[in-house]
Amino acid sequence: ETGRVKHFIRAIIDEDLAAGKVKHIATRFPPEPNGYLHLGHAKSICLNFGLAQEYNGTCNLRFDDTNPVKEDVEYVESIKQDVHWLGFDWADRQFFASDYFEKLYAFAVELIKKGKAYVDELSAEEIREYRGTLTKPGKNSPYRDRSVEENLDLFERMRAGEFEEGSHVLRAKIDMENPNLVLRDPTLYRIRKVNHHRTGDAWCIYPMYDFAHCLSDAIEGITHSVCTLEFVNNRPLYDWVLDTLELAPRPHQYEFARLNLNYTVLSKRKLIQLVQDKHVSGWDDPRMPTISGIRRRGYPAAAVREFCERISVSKADSTVDIALLEHCVRESLNETAPRVLGVLNPLKVVITNYPEDQEDVFEMPFMPDNEEMGTRKVPFSREIYIERDDFMEDAPKKFFRLAPGKEVRLRFAYYITCDEVIKDENGEVIELHCSYDPATKGGWSNDGRKVKGTLHWVSVKHSLPAEVRLYDHLFSAEDPMKVEEGQDFTSNLNPDSLTVLTDCRVEPAVKEFTPGMVCQFERKGYFCADIKESTPDHLVFNRTSSLRDSWAR
């Protein structure tokens, strides 16, 4: 793995440890269970869990489930599976922000008692109006100076369900003229008469993110609370809540640039739309940038971790080339994926001088020059398939594959020469008649003759039929969010992101591979049997990646 970069968060932690500000570092990964995790979350997971590992600290998995409207247990389960798959373990450190509802309520009451929060009866629209803008100071709500007693009473009645949604909110009493709009008496609680996936109907008031998050961090003893740059302006509020409640020791928030990838959208809301409108087969469609999608595609978790380490973290927004991720995937699979033979677009070859009742079995290594990976037996017979585009009838000089009269090597088998081209009534090539040289057994001859091309092949009667799904980028535009007027990002979907090949043939050893395991079909790319749809009777392979690397260092 790449050497570690000392990015700014590592630098902050090093300083805090050296200065004795903290003894152990405690981080958290706080997903809202309102969708499946994507590669952006992977960056945050690798960062938070990675820092905990590096510094012998702890990392909590905290479900940030304070907004009941869009949250669901289905998402909780998928998030746990995805974090585990990425290689991280929270052990017994799993928390739900909703478990803190009672504590958060008590903190809100404390703020009211300190004269730092009040119940407002302005409508949402009025609140927006009173807030002002960057160039216009806000003005105080007429309800701002209620007595502590009145506020306590109203807040209790909000909780008891006496008021309609939208009629009352609890607001922090900070400063309606603050240049930072976030500090203009932000809302801390609102009424939502909806069922929560964990607390049911116990509550009809729910805390806002800015109130719940910092306090959840404090309750859990988080030291370094890292989040994405959108929250820079919220940091003064994070600090205000904790300082006003005089909580110590207390966590600190640090912001890093979110992951953006070209040809990709990384936003749960957008990804939900792709699923709901059936542009993809589901959250785990192998073209999706979700963790479940790339897992099904065959991306190794180690490659994702390596990718996250290489992009590192910074304070400046940028877009990462998805070719870097693909490069990490290839680099990882190159080390681990057994090599086998698979023909995606078969053309039949009859070896006319090979006896009908003869068979060879070639023992081939799963990985050249790596004995530990072992070998498998590959049967050879009179009829084989080669790749259709490995043959050309009118071949240019530089074409080193098969053509009439030319000789090529069949990988680990024999040399063959093309004698005759058989066509159907439309002139389509349907079969080749070739002859082999028995003296080249194993795919080698030391008589000095020049045979440049080496083709992969499978035996007709021994090979297995398979369906192969080739994937390309889900979006054809580098920036999918850049659209013509009146269009949305789905107008940038790549119509050719999925190609299904139904007549492929693979060597028999592949049947023993477990679904999800990635192998290399020599010369064709990396493939894995689909974990959902591949069965021994109907093999389905996903192309994890081609062999061509477009990463420009």
Query: How many whole angstroms separate alpha carbon 249 and alpha carbon 485?
Result: 51
> What element of type H or E holds 271?
helix 268-276
Q: Which residue is nearest to ligand ATP (CB)?
A: 40
Q: Does 207 bind ligand ATP (CB under 6 A)?
A: no
| CB nearer Mg ion, residue 95 or residue 526 | 95
Q: Which range binds ligand ATP by CB under 6 A, 129-137, 260-268, 455-463, 537-545?
A: 260-268
In the bound complex, what is the minimum distance in angstroms from residue 29's beta carbon to ligand ATP? 6
Query: How many whole angstroms separate alpha carbon 468 and alpha carbon 482?
Result: 32
Q: Which residue numbers are catalytic?
A: 32, 258, 268
| CB nearer ligand ATP, residue 263 or residue 412 | 263
- Strands in 205-207's sheet, in edge-to-edge order, are 117-120, 169-172, 187-191, 205-207
| CB nearer Mg ion, residue 44 or residue 463 | 44
SS3 assignment, position 525: strand
Q: Does 242 bind ligand ATP (CB under 6 A)?
A: no
Which residues on adjacent β-strands are paired with residue 118?
171
Q: Does 272 bind Mg ion (CB under 5 A)?
A: no
Alpha helices in 6-68 (DSSP H): 8-18, 39-54
| CB nearer Mg ion, residue 231 or residue 415 | 231
| CB nearer Mg ion, residue 32 or residue 175 | 32
Question: Would you state the structure tokens that stand for residue 342, as one six-digit string?
Answer: 């698979």
Q: Does 16 bind Mg ion (CB under 5 A)?
A: no
DSSP class of 459 = E
Phi, psi of 399 (to 5 degrees): -80, 110
Residues 387-416, one symbol each (x = binds ligand ATP by CB under 6 A, - = not), give ------------------------------
Q: Does 57 bind ligand ATP (CB under 6 A)?
A: no
List Cβ neighbours of 195 (8 Å cut-off, separation of 6 or more).
68, 201
Q: Which range binds ligand ATP by CB under 6 A, 37-45, 115-123, 236-244, 458-466?
A: 37-45
Query: How many whole angstroms separate alpha carbon 363 and alpha carbon 516?
Result: 25
Phi, psi of 360 (to 5 degrees): -115, 150
Q: Does 44 bind ligand ATP (CB under 6 A)?
A: yes
Query: How many whole angstroms separate alpha carbon 515 and alpha carbon 529?
Result: 5
> Which parts of 58-97 interact with ligand ATP (CB under 6 A)?
64
Q: Does 228 bind Mg ion (CB under 5 A)?
A: no
SS3 assignment, position 18: helix
Question: Do 175 and 236 contact (CB within 8 A), yes or no?
Answer: no
> Which parts of 208-227 interact with ligand ATP (CB under 6 A)?
227
Figure out which of the listed residues 9, 30, 418, 510 binds ligand ATP, where binding follows CB under 6 A. Answer: 30
Q: Does 258 bind ligand ATP (CB under 6 A)?
A: yes
HSE-CB of 139 using CA atoms within 13 angstroms: 5
Figure out which of the listed residues 180, 228, 273, 375 binds ligand ATP, where binding follows CB under 6 A. Answer: 228
Q: Does 180 bind ligand ATP (CB under 6 A)?
A: no
Q: Does 32 bind ligand ATP (CB under 6 A)?
A: yes
| CB nearer ligand ATP, residue 97 or residue 259 | 259
Question: Would you state the structure tokens that stand for residue 212, as one six-digit string?
Answer: 């719940």
Q: Does 235 bind ligand ATP (CB under 6 A)?
A: no
* Residue 60 buriedness (CB in 10 A; 0-12 / 13-18 / 19+): buried
> What element of type H or E holds 215?
helix 209-219
With CB under 5 to 8 Å by kind, the binding choice for 50 among ligand ATP, Mg ion, none is none
Phi, psi of 76 (to 5 degrees): -60, -45
Figure out which of the listed residues 266, 341, 349, 386 binds ligand ATP, where binding follows CB under 6 A. Answer: 266
With CB under 5 to 8 Å by kind, the binding choice for 545 among ligand ATP, Mg ion, none is none
Q: Which range binds ligand ATP by CB under 6 A, 165-173, 266-274, 379-387, 436-444?
A: 266-274
Question: Would you state the structure tokens that stand for residue 542, as one six-digit string?
Answer: 């996903």
For residue 246, which amino acid is it? E
Q: Does 268 bind ligand ATP (CB under 6 A)?
A: yes
SS3 assignment, position 521: strand
In the bound complex, what is the minimum distance in angstroms from residue 174's beta carbon to ligand ATP? 24
CB atoms within 10 A of CB 147: 10
With CB under 5 to 8 Å by kind, the binding choice for 462 among Mg ion, ligand ATP, none is none
HSE-CB of 233 using CA atoms within 13 angstroms: 10
Query: Contacts with ligand ATP: how many residues (CB under 6 A)?
Result: 16
With CB under 5 to 8 Å by kind, the binding choice for 258 among ligand ATP, Mg ion, none is ligand ATP
Straight-line distance from the first to the last Cα atom of the chain, in angstroms, rounded to the nearest whole number: 17
| CB nearer ligand ATP, residue 43 or residue 173 | 43
SS3 assignment, position 26: strand
Which of 25, 189, 163 lies closest to 107, judged by CA?
189
Q: Does 31 bind ligand ATP (CB under 6 A)?
A: yes
Phi, psi of 198 (to 5 degrees): -120, -40
Q: Which range binds ligand ATP by CB under 6 A, 25-33, 96-104, 318-326, 331-339?
A: 25-33
Residues 29-48, one symbol each (x = binds Mg ion by CB under 5 A, - = not), give ---x----------------
In the bound complex, what is the minimum distance in angstroms from residue 311's beta carbon to Mg ion? 19
Question: Do 529 and 513 contact (CB within 8 A), yes or no?
Answer: yes
Binding site for ligand ATP (CB under 6 A): 30-32, 40-41, 43-44, 64, 227-228, 258-259, 266-269
Binding site for Mg ion (CB under 5 A): 32
